[in-house]
Structure 1
Amino acid sequence: MNFQIKPIGYIESPFKKLSDIPKQSIYGKDKRAVINILDEYVLGIRDIKEGAYIILLFYFNKSKGYKLLQVPRDSNDFKGVFSTRSPFRPNSIGMSIVKVISIKNKNLIEIEGVDMLNKTPVIDIKPYIPELNPKDEEL
């Protein structure tokens, strides 16, 4: 089965090189970027609020190839790719939870907590709803 995913927008990030990116969004919590939403999708961001957190799904467009077993940055042992947050994945999909700082010109979402390269394609945005996620005591 083949399917196509089209970007809904692109990240305008301060990170121009792979080596500059924090390894997770939590380590870039003071870093800001802008999601530039394409005109045809602007209506879809209407109810996103400043100060809210969103789940950002994006395409690791600079990742080349993958291995099913990888050694994560914080380990010396091989792990299966699906038990890691590596950008080197079969479908190259990334996910970060970021904070919405502002929305400007109806299509620019300023975010904080950035771990994406400049010009990264955004494939979806979902609301982060804490009560729909496991609590610490459930983990």
Structure 2
Amino acid sequence: MAGLRPGEVVAEGLKDPDGPRLRVIGRIRTPWGPDDCPRNMGTARQRGGRFVVELDPDLGPALEGLAVGQPVILLYWMDRARRDLLRQSPRHIEGTRGTFALRSPNRPNSIGVATVVITALDPGDATLGIDAIDCYDDTPLIDIKPWTERADLPPGRDG
């Protein structure tokens, strides 16, 4: 595990949590590794590449109703992130912030969320092509949800 930056705070009780178990439903395939992964979706989209969601083959029928061009929300497990930081000192801001005020992968439950656009769909192969994502290759996928304007835009925001 990486060392702490100035101002960062660790919760000792979160170093080895034992909680609810999630089922990994597939893997996210990206061109990124620890040394070259973009830090946000905007940069991932600018850099481009091949991005594929590979589901457990038994889950292909669960893709029914999705379509190319549709936005979906991916929930994934950032399995190589720290899980014990309460305050962090990100490189892109001055000072520290609480973990819940950041999109950092380092959090008590390292769940990542990304809204992506489906570029290819093959229920028979249980795969989705997506426009981009900012996670390491072979990241475990825990859920896919359709993005809908009615449900996902905060009140008072235009689509």
> 1:78-89 alignment to 2 at 5 Å?
78-89=96-107
1:27, 1:113 within 8 Å by CA — same for their partners in 2?
no
Give structure 2 stretches of 5+ with no counterpart.
Answer: 1-17
Number of equivalences: 137
Specify the code of the residue in structure 2 equivalent to 1:9.
G
The residue aligned with 2:40 is 24
* In the alignment, structure 1 residue 5 sits paired with structure 2 residue 5: no
Structure 1 runs of 4+ with >6 Å offset: none
Measure the CA separation in 2 of the matches of 1:136 and 1:71: 32
> Cα deviation per residue 1:55-104 (whole Å; 9 max; x = unaligned)?
10000011134310002232012111011000001011000111100013
Percentage of pairs with the same residue: 28
> 1:1-139 alignment to 2 at 5 Å?
2-15=19-32, 17-29=33-45, 30-104=48-122, 105-132=124-151, 133-134=153-154, 137=157
Measure the CA separation in 2 of the matches of 1:71 and 1:136: 32
Measure the CA separation in 2 of the matches of 1:113 and 1:25: 7
Give the match's secondary structure for 1:124: strand
TM-score normalised to structure 1 length: 0.89
* More RCO (CA 8 Å, sep 6+): 1
Specify the code of the residue in structure 2 equivalent to 1:28.
A
Structure 1 residues 136, 23: CA separation in 2 closer, same or farther (over 3 Å shift)? farther
Give the match's secondary structure for 1:122: strand
The CA RMSD over aligned residues, in Å, is: 1.9
Structure 1 residues 2, 12: CA separation in 2 closer, same or farther (over 3 Å shift)? same
Q: Which has the larger radius of gyration?
A: 2
Structure 1 residues 135, 31: CA separation in 2 closer, same or farther (over 3 Å shift)? farther
2:74, 2:144 within 8 Å by CA — same for their partners in 1?
yes
Give the match's secondary structure for 2:85: coil
Specify the code of the residue in structure 2 equivalent to 1:118.
D
1:32, 1:114 within 8 Å by CA — same for their partners in 2?
no
